[in-house]
Chain A
Amino acid sequence: MEDPADSSTPLHPSARIMARNARVGLILFFVYLVLYGGFMLLNAFAPQVMGTPTFVGGANLALVYGVGLIAAALLLALLYMFLCRAVSSDAALDAAAAAPRSESR
């Protein structure tokens, strides 16, 4: 049983994929954190802004931003799924690249 997070041994290709997936996940997470945090801070400290009409048919900012947060969650989730798949197809290349190296050692 090897520990994937244990870097004292050379990274197994699958561990590298996991690390990349985790990194992609964290980046997207911070993107959403900024969007969500912005919404909450705006609500808490400038609530009057939420009533202003927007370009979306005159619906107010509260509705557009709120529904936008839901849409953003879905978009980020799809993006993540797509990026992870890209990473796992890299994995085949990584594994191929890693194989001769480990043999030569």
Chain B
Amino acid sequence: MPIVVFLLFVSSVLGLSFYLGSKTRSAKGYYAAHGQIHWFVNGVAFAGDYLSAASFLGICGMIALYGYDGFLYSIGYLAGWIVALLVVAEPLKRLGRYTFADALDSRFHSRGIKLTAAISTLVVSVFYLIPQMVGAGALVKPLLGLEHYQGVLIVGAVVTMIVVTAGMVSTSWVQFIKGSLLVVFCTVLTVLILRRGFVADHAHEESASGLGGVSYYPFEENVPFPPGISEITADGVWNFNELKPTGGWSDLPFHRFAQADGRIVTFQLAARLPPPVADMPVTPIESLGYSGTAHVMTTKPDGSVLLDGLPYSATSDPNSRKLLFVGSIHSLPGNQSSTGPLGPISFFTTLADSTIVQWSSKKVDEADGSKTVVYYPRLTKGSDLLVPGASPTFKGVRSEKLADKLDFLSLMLALFCGTASLPHILIRYYTVRDESAARKSTVVGIAVIGFFYVLTLYMGFGAMVSGTLSLTDPQGNMAAPLLAKSFNPLLFALISAIAFTTVLGTVAGLILAASGAVAHDLMENFLKIKMNDHEKVRAGKIVAVVVGVVAMVLGILFKQMNVSFLVGWAFNVAASANLPALVMLLFWRGTTKQGITASIAVGMVASVAWILLSGKVYADVYGLDPKTAWMPFSQPGLVTIPLSFVVLVIVSLMTQRTGTAEAVARQRGTTA
């Protein structure tokens, strides 16, 4: 049933896209939807473009895993719109035709600007495409039972098809539909979360069945040892038949024992031994127990997989064990069993006073060559998760080291400056009639996006405590759809379908931006290839296919990373390369063409190089020790954005005589 809804939804969106696309013939239609999109539609389409897989899946996932930190992305992403609206929207609309390079170059007619602006559009688009593709892979896995790479290939193929057949008119409408549906259904989901309230572990510990009948692992406390496992020796020392901590286990704080049925129980805390009493040398066995049961997934050298010592299967084979979901509330304030419906504020105050079960994992190399992953629970105070700094990305705010704090500020600066420099957002300013419409559609966009980001708080925290987090999804990218599943499979299908079209839409917009950069800026304006309207559209479509293939390959390579994190990098590169040029062009008359060219080139190269030499890439992509990385922190923006400004000013000052708009105009005037 969910698959039917999913396919129905996706195919009707595609059908609409093809229908609208069949009406597009000219280049202005292909790249800028004839400038005829209504401002309200364009505003919601802004939201559609912007609420990408990263916003939706990544932020919800990050909140579900680490609490408030994910919301910092929401705040930064939205703040960027203020820069877009108040600083760049109107002048950009006035100056350009199809692309960001058009606007930058409108006064200078410089080939250097065309070249660097087109390359930076390409680089940013590709950086932004990676997380969308990773998100697509994460989505199809539980929904259609496909592998990550298959998901990436499907999305890549479908999107490339959309772009090739359609162009900006249908992309705008797809984004409009998707943007509105996303907000509507996420509102429904939020209302359901608030109405359900919170339920504590002990309320359904017996059945170990979570909300909505989904089985999950609660935090186990004082589970009695099975008979024969533990004993009190004659001298009062308590003993249980613990497995020897061999191999990688030796440094870990886990204890393991084997049950009669072959199950290996792994736990963190043994119940404290009662104080020895002189006249009672043997303590009753029932008073002993273990807490914090962990779950262990072992891949043997022969490829077979064991879960807690028994055969594991991801399918519903009754003879093998399945990995259950996690994430729950251990205790509610006042030791209630459940809260009942909650209000939008009491949702957070109740959560702050609760104890939350969070799960982490550790890799263990076994002595026999098996690879093991231990998933283990820990109890966290809710109030700790409602302030910044609980996640690896933002732990810097709680650190004493200045470099860590700078890393945080750097990312927040990049998010603030990045939105106004994203090519697929900028091209949407060319789809409306005039500056006033550009303004109005941005306000609509801010309203829709801002509202959605408030919802991410409820969906994220809801997913954190509803027993719907998947242990095999360490980045939490599936948190929101799985939460929907705990309410209703139909809602799951709808939310997944919307998320899937989200990916399709955003990827389509990015590929379109990249194709515009190559066909319009590089081929037509830089290389001066003479093309008629029809050839220009065809060139764009060929480029779209190439970019699509590149995105698919990168989406498969980067599948281990949280999509929000990847998007953060795209913002860093966009802000470093594009924003200084854009802002200075608009506000400093001394800006020269050489200054712009140098600023884009330096900003782009410096930020990409910084990322490639950062600790995060060392650890997650190259598999090297992050301490050996060259850069003191992973987010370049704090350094590279000012650097790009400085380069622009210095180079402009050095080239005042030839490079300013006035000088260029004068030159052209005399030569003409």
A11 at interface by CB-CB < 8 Å: no
What separation, in Å, do the CA atoms of A40 and B85 have in the docked complex? 21
Chain A residues in contact with chain B, CB under 8 A?
3-6, 18, 21-22, 25-26, 28-29, 32, 36, 39-41, 43-45, 47, 50-51, 56-60, 62-63, 66-67, 69-71, 73-74, 76-78, 80-81, 84, 88
Question: When A and B form their complex, which 3 residue pairs have the shortest distance between CB atoms, in order from nearest?
Answer: A57-B345, A25-B86, A29-B86
Q: Which of B396, B440, B453, B662 contacts A81 (CB 8 A)?
A: B440
In B119-166, the 8 Å CB interface with A consists of none
What separation, in Å, do the CA atoms of A67 and B345 have in the docked complex? 12
Residue of A nearest to B412 (CB): A40
Q: Which of B82, B352, B662 contacts A77 (CB 8 A)?
A: B82
User: Which A residues are in CB contact (< 8 Å) with B667?
Assistant: none
B647 at interface by CB-CB < 8 Å: no
Q: Which of B71, B348, B349, B446 contacts A74 (CB 8 A)?
A: B446
Please determine whether A44 and B408 come into contact, CB atoms closer than 8 angstroms: yes
Given contacts A59-B348, A71-B450, 7 further A-B contacts (CB under 8 A): A6-B661, A22-B587, A26-B86, A60-B387, A66-B74, A70-B74, A81-B443
Q: Which of B75, B86, B443, B662 contacts A66 (CB 8 A)?
A: B75
B538 at interface by CB-CB < 8 Å: no
B346 at interface by CB-CB < 8 Å: yes
CB distance from B303 to the nearest CB of A (A): 46
What separation, in Å, do the CA atoms of A26 and B83 have in the docked complex? 9
User: Which B residues are in CB contact (< 8 Å) with A36?
Assistant: 75, 79, 412, 416
25 contacts between A and B (CB under 8 A): A18-B90, A18-B94, A29-B83, A29-B86, A36-B79, A43-B72, A44-B397, A47-B387, A47-B389, A47-B397, A51-B387, A56-B345, A59-B349, A60-B386, A63-B386, A63-B457, A66-B74, A70-B75, A70-B78, A70-B454, A74-B447, A74-B450, A77-B82, A77-B442, A80-B85
User: Which B residues are in CB contact (< 8 Å) with A28?
Assistant: 82, 86
Please determine whether B78 and A62 come into contact, CB atoms closer than 8 angstroms: no
Given A22-B90, A63-B348, A78-B443, answer yes or no on A43-B397 (Cβ-Cβ < 8 Å). yes
Q: Contact residue range for chain B?
A: 35 or more
Chain B interface helix/strand/loop/mixed = helix
CB distance from B80 to the nearest CB of A (A): 10
User: Which A residues are in CB contact (< 8 Å) with B213?
Assistant: none
What separation, in Å, do the CA atoms of A69 and B72 have in the docked complex? 11
Residue of B nearest to A56 (CB): B345
What separation, in Å, do the CA atoms of A22 and B454 have in the docked complex? 30
User: Which B residues are in CB contact (< 8 Å) with A47?
Assistant: 387-389, 397-398
What separation, in Å, do the CA atoms of A32 and B587 have in the docked complex? 19
What separation, in Å, do the CA atoms of A58 and B382 have in the docked complex? 14
Query: A-B contact count, CB below 8 Å?
Result: 130
What separation, in Å, do the CA atoms of A58 and B345 have in the docked complex? 8
What separation, in Å, do the CA atoms of A25 and B87 have in the docked complex? 6
User: Which B residues are in CB contact (< 8 Å) with A22?
Assistant: 90-91, 586-587
CB distance from A26 to the nearest CB of B (A): 7
Please determine whether B82 and A51 come into contact, CB atoms closer than 8 angstroms: no
User: Which A residues are in CB contact (< 8 Å) with B87?
Assistant: 25-26, 29
What separation, in Å, do the CA atoms of A58 and B640 have in the docked complex? 40
Chain B residues in contact with chain A, CB under 8 A?
68, 71-72, 74-75, 78-79, 81-83, 85-87, 90-91, 94, 107, 345-346, 348-349, 352, 383, 386-389, 396-398, 405, 408-409, 412, 416, 436, 439-440, 442-443, 446-447, 450, 453-454, 457, 586-587, 589, 661-662, 665
CB distance from B416 to the nearest CB of A (A): 6
User: Which A residues are in CB contact (< 8 Å) with B443?
Assistant: 74, 77-78, 80-81
Please determine whether A84 and B439 come into contact, CB atoms closer than 8 angstroms: yes
Q: Which of B78, B387, B408, B440 contacts A69 (CB 8 A)?
A: B78
What separation, in Å, do the CA atoms of A29 and B90 have in the docked complex? 14
Most chain A CB inside 10 Å of its own CB: which residue of B71, B397, B457, B586: B397
User: Which B residues are in CB contact (< 8 Å) with A25?
Assistant: 85-87, 90
Please determine whether A73 and B439 come into contact, CB atoms closer than 8 angstroms: no
User: Which B residues are in CB contact (< 8 Å) with A59?
Assistant: 345, 348-349
Please determine whether B349 and A32 come into contact, CB atoms closer than 8 angstroms: no
Residue of A nearest to B83 (CB): A29
Q: Which of A5, A39, A57, A76 contacts B589 (CB 8 A)?
A: A5
Given A3-B661, A44-B408, A77-B442, answer yes or no on A67-B78 (Cβ-Cβ < 8 Å). no
CB distance from A86 to the nearest CB of B (A): 13
Please determine whether A21 and B90 come into contact, CB atoms closer than 8 angstroms: yes
Please determine whether B386 and A57 come into contact, CB atoms closer than 8 angstroms: no
Please determine whether A73 and B348 come into contact, CB atoms closer than 8 angstroms: no
Please determine whether A40 and B349 come into contact, CB atoms closer than 8 angstroms: no
Residue of A nearest to B586 (CB): A22
What separation, in Å, do the CA atoms of A60 and B345 have in the docked complex? 10
User: Which B residues are in CB contact (< 8 Å) with A78?
Assistant: 443
CB distance from B7 to the nearest CB of A (A): 35
User: Which A residues are in CB contact (< 8 Å) with B75?
Assistant: 36, 39, 66, 69-70
Residue of B nearest to A24 (CB): B86
Residue of A nearest to B345 (CB): A57
What separation, in Å, do the CA atoms of A73 and B79 have in the docked complex? 7
What separation, in Å, do the CA atoms of A105 and B409 have in the docked complex? 55
Q: Which of A57, A66, A88 contacts B71 (CB 8 A)?
A: A66
Please determine whether A88 and B387 come into contact, CB atoms closer than 8 angstroms: no
What separation, in Å, do the CA atoms of A70 and B443 have in the docked complex? 13
Please determine whether A58 and B349 come into contact, CB atoms closer than 8 angstroms: yes
Most chain B CB inside 10 Å of its own CB: which residue of A3, A51, A70: A70
User: Which B residues are in CB contact (< 8 Å) with A66?
Assistant: 68, 71-72, 74-75
Given A32-B82, A59-B348, answer yes or no on A80-B439 (Cβ-Cβ < 8 Å). yes
Most chain B CB inside 10 Å of its own CB: which residue of A51, A57, A74: A74
Please determine whether B408 and A70 come into contact, CB atoms closer than 8 angstroms: no
What separation, in Å, do the CA atoms of A41 and B386 have in the docked complex? 18
What separation, in Å, do the CA atoms of A15 and B387 have in the docked complex? 47
Residue of B nearest to A25 (CB): B86
What separation, in Å, do the CA atoms of A71 and B451 have in the docked complex? 9
User: Which A residues are in CB contact (< 8 Å) with B71?
Assistant: 66
CB distance from B282 to the nearest CB of A (A): 48
What separation, in Å, do the CA atoms of A70 and B454 have in the docked complex? 8
User: Which B residues are in CB contact (< 8 Å) with A3?
Assistant: 107, 661, 665
User: Which B residues are in CB contact (< 8 Å) with A39?
Assistant: 75
